Amino acid sequence: MKVLAADGISPKGIALLQKEFEVDVRDKISAEELLSIIPEYDALLVRSASKVTAEVIGRAAKLKIIGRAGVGVDNIDIPAATAKGIIVINSPGGNTIAATEHTMAMMLALSRNIPIANETMQKGEWNRKKYVGVELRGKTLGIIGMGRIGAGVAKRAMAFDMDVIAYDPYINEERAKSLGVTIGTFGEVIEQADFITVHMPLTKETKGMISLAEMKRMKKGVRLINCARGGIIVEEDLAEAVKSGIVAGAAIDVFTSEPVGLGHPLVGVPGIILTPHLGASTVEAQIGVSIDVAEGVHAALHGEPVATAVNMAPVSREVMRVIAPYLTLAERLGGMVVGMADGAIEEVEVTYKGEIMEVSTGLLTTAVVKGMLNPILEDTVNYVNAPSLAKDRGITVTERKQKESKHYESLISVRIKAGGKELTVAGTLFGTEGRIVRINKFRVDVDPHARLLVCPHTNRPGIIGAVGTLLGRANINISGMQVGRTEIEGTNIMVLTIDHDIPGDMLEKVKAIDGIFGAKLVNFYAI
């Protein structure tokens, strides 16, 4: 079998594959050349330079696996690969230490003014008094996002005798306790911390989550670090906040658009340290990611399970024919429960009723967990790593099966325990279309897509109209509506399909309407 290694894959990974396979190393390959030669290869290894487009995949007559030596897979057309049965893998853990250590390096450089002190020394200056720094010891570090990198930063910060407060709405108290951190709200973290570091994925919810308004709520002398994703901190606002003294300084490794030039708002601002996306750029990380993907390619070419697949995990054709129509529904049920949960999820129970329980449902349960974790984790969540990511966060996942289903041929129910409360959502297929048919005790018929506003309410005139009027005044269009009843007399639930995001203050206004028991926005674009 033949393997194509493009984009400067570390020799350590290549050497592993050369023991059994013919490996063709092309460090700099043009798009045209890749298109021309890809039909020859059984496996392809890339970093970020090569674009594995649908056209490339279409020409790949023998390709079984694409390995990305790194985390991001934006340069690979995953739907096209999946449709053709090609496994796509990445290396989600290979650069964790590198990113963690870079965050600490940025924090230390920021606290002790190292870059500017070095720069002026190189010019022959001696400015001891001008560049007096601050110590980490005794300071409070606020961590926004407690995935693997956030947890690693917390561990190292505590070694510096820092107090750590973290915001992660989906980490439970047991996990937080094991890490030795205090869990707070987003507001508590930004108001109490002396240093704030971001470790969240870039989603519609996190984009711009730290703007000038949030910076004005922070401590005088706060310092910000972002080695996660560009766009979480509003760059123009950060520049203004540092210039005006609202923020003492910042260290930024990632940007909304890369590379950046002289016209970027953060370039040339005193007090802001910039690095060109170096978070994963260590010798060890590059070796680590190359070995990770090489091992994955080796397994795939031998027909063995692959541990870091970002698309479909291997399933027999017979089982796949049965469960394939349910996969999207299962993910959406997971997204629905996490969107409606109050607090960190502790337990997940997936129950299969009717015909669907006759086959292996493990992949469907994984799909539920994937849909549940995908909107909330910085890490890439896939069909392989979803169970371990849930376990890492202290979430217990169980399956149940029942032969009888009173009203449907097959029914999937997802029950979670979160914040001491239970929540159940159930769905089925109408033909090939997935539908949510129950939310707790409410009977509904909801198409799980786009954005849903879910509002339990008292069953009396005027409430639905009040919500519609409020959204209409804010130019938020309602494209669909479903009202469900429950066994409890006098209570209903409305589920509105809306075309625009709802700001947090607007959601609070909906909750404040007399007769509304609560309001939750479920955004399926994040799944």
Q: Which residues are catalytic?
A: 229, 258, 277
Alpha helices by DSSP H, listed for 283-439, are: 283-301, 317-340, 362-373, 386-392
Q: Which of 514, 521, 519 is nearest to 458 (CA)?
A: 514
Distances (CA, A) of 378 to 49, 170, 200, 234: 22, 12, 5, 18
What's the distance, CA 336 to chain centroid? 16
Residues whose CB is less than 8 angstroms from the CB of residue 83 and which lie 6 or more positions away in sequence, other chains included? none
Is beta strand 272-274 parallel, antiparallel or unpaired with respect to 249-252? parallel
Phi, psi of 465 (to 5 degrees): -65, -35
Beta bridge partners of 425: 414, 439
Distance CA 35, CA 53 (A): 9
Q: Edge-to-edge strand order for the sheet containing 22-26? A: 22-26, 2-6, 43-46, 65-68, 87-89
What's the distance, CA 311 to chain centroid? 15
C-beta of residue 254 within 8 angstroms of C-beta of residue 238: no
Distance CA 459, CA 442 (A): 13
Report DSSP letters for 458-516, one per residue: ESSTTHHHHHHHHHHHTT--EEEEEEEE-SSTTEEEEEEEESS---HHHHHHHHTSTTB
Q: Which of 2, 15, 8 is nearest to 295 (CA)?
A: 15
Report helix, strand or coil for 315. coil
Beta bridge partners of 300: none
